[in-house]
Amino acid sequence: MNRAYLRALGEAKRRGLNYLPGEVMVKFKEGVNAEGQARALSALGIQPTAETFEWAGRVAIVRNEVQQDAYVLADQMKAQPEVEYAEPNFIVSIDPVDWKDSPTPPQPARTAVRPTRGSNAGVTLVPTDTDYASYQWNFQLINMPGAWDVQPGGRSDIIVAVIDSGVTSNTGNMVYPVWTGSSFQTLTMPYGPNSDLPASRHVLAKDFPGALIPGAPHVDTSGHGTHVASTIGEATNNGFLVSGIAYNVQIMPLKVCTSYWDIAIAQGQTGQPGFPTGFTSPVSAGCSYAYMAQAIDYAVANGARVMNISIGGGAPSSTTLQNALINAANKGAFVSISMGNDFNDGNPTNYPAFYAQSIDGVMSVASIGPNSTKASYSSTGAHCEIAAPGGDSVGNSARVDQGYVWQSTVISSDHPLFGSSARFDRYNRVGFVGTSMAAPHVAGLAALLMSQVPTLTGAQAERIIRASAKDLGAAGKDDTFGYGLIQPRRALFGYGPLR
């Protein structure tokens, strides 16, 4: 476990900082060897150790316990002749606008079968999942049954990377001391995979901040990453819970976000009393630019055709993060990024969504509610490119199932803030609201398009998604909905059904 990172993130949350204190991303000039790198560090009194120096893809993370102001530290590093650039390691977040555990327990799963055709043969492949009709207004709004009739679930050789809080692949127990209010108590916290997003479809999972226990790829202690991955690829037609868009594809879970319970466990191991601060819910988490950029590079290097980044915030622009997205698009990948949930908080520009407008193959995704109107929280701006269902718990419906996007993930009440117990092995449908939920609809559609035409590039997929969208709001592209609401069946028919 990377304790230096977790300590810095905990401190940033406590102080309300948008960067990790005492931590910067450094890009050394071409040809600078290890000796030159060490010289640049020594000029600032830093000795390269596992705690102070860490490679994160094409940049190095440099930590300095003495200079905690990352802006000052970046300026000091930039002044060294060996350094091409240096910038603070900014942090953004996953923090849904609202969330709600399901009021009813899940029913047993059945063997997967082909979807049932309705009376409109050829356009109504309706899944057998028990809660599809009652809960998944979002899929019905964009006519996913019609899309599945053209491309039923995608190809099993398509990899979609979910850059988020992870997706649990293994089964076991985490046994750690955790602060419970007045003392440390050793907790046994079981974890296990989601049976409706089976580990057999996970590929090359990686925990960038550092696995909590040896031998485990990672544990999703938030539930956000699993929820996002479920929208993209939850098992479908098995008479169980709800459905996923591209339910045959492989999921590459890449953990870059750290939750309340990750910090609580880290504090317990170092004997730091007190509850982690700065977290607004059990599902929120902090995510660093360095690990996000590293995950993007890792995903494209390991065969991911599609990526989803349901992460964002008002932290400044970053050369490191922008370059990673440009590299992914140049190699033919498609990236879907949530626009942000800050419309009612001054509507600041969110990163990395802002980069989408200038990179073909990268799309920023706004959110609509069940009535196809703008979600009250959804950020707007000229960089908005497309819209998808993200839910809205304000002014949409009194029915519990109509305001939220429901997918299976760990039960939120199983790991409450300030709790004296936690578990990460029980799953049910959970309702989330946010642009985080809208983005995976677009990633799932891109996966279906690339299943339909395997040679399709991310830039070509973006053009199809734009051209096939249903215009909402002002005529043409606008700052609220971009090019409009995704229309999966229409997009897939651009190449004709492959049956």
Domain spans, the chain = 3-91, 98-492
The SS3 assignment for 8 reads helix
Q: Which residue has the tokens 């910038």?
A: 87
Q: What gap in Å lies between CA 136 and CA 428, rounded to an integer?
A: 14
* Residue 401: predicted pLDDT: 58
Residue 183 structure tokens: 């003392």
Q: Which residues are CB-neighbours of 496 under 8 A, at least 6 positions away?
A: none
CA pair distance 316, 87, nearest whole angstrom: 10
pTM: 0.94
Pairing verdict, β 306-309 and 159-164: parallel
On the question of a common fold for 3-91 and 98-492, the answer reads no
Which residue from 135, 126, 212, 223 is spatially nearest to 176, judged by alpha carbons?
Answer: 212
**For helices 458-468 and 319-330, angle between their N-to-C axes, nearest 10 degrees:** 90
Q: Which residues in 29-151 belong to E strands, given as ranges?
A: 53-56, 59-63, 83-94, 98-101, 116-117, 125-126
CATH 1.10.3470, applies to 3-91: no
Please answer whether residues 489 and 149 qualify as being in contact, where contact means their C-beta atoms are separated by less than 8 angstroms: yes
DSSP element (H, E) containing 451: helix 435-452
Dist CA 497 CA 493 (whole Å): 6
For 98-492, the fitting CATH number among 3.40.50.300, 3.40.50.200, 3.90.1150.10, 3.60.10.10 is: 3.40.50.200
Q: What is residue 10's predicted lDDT score, i.e. its pLDDT?
A: 84
Q: What is the mean pLDDT for each group of 10 consecutive residues in the chain (499 residues)?
A: 79 91 96 96 91 92 94 97 97 88 66 49 72 93 95 96 96 93 94 94 93 68 97 92 96 96 89 90 94 97 98 92 98 98 94 97 97 94 97 64 88 94 95 96 98 96 97 94 97 62
First to last CA, the chain: 48
The pLDDT value recorded for residue 244 is: 97
Contact between 433 and 403 under an 8 Å Cβ cutoff? The reply is yes
Query: What pLDDT is recorded for position 498?
Result: 37
In whole angstroms, what is the distance from residue 84 CA to residue 35 CA? 16
- Nearest-CA neighbor of 126 among 148, 158, 99, 95? 148
pLDDT of res. 13: 87
| Residue type at position 490 | R
The dihedral over CA atoms of 144, 146, 152, 154, expressed in degrees to the nearest 10, equals: -60
For residues 434 and 54, give the distance between their C-alpha atoms in angstroms, rounded to a whole number: 33
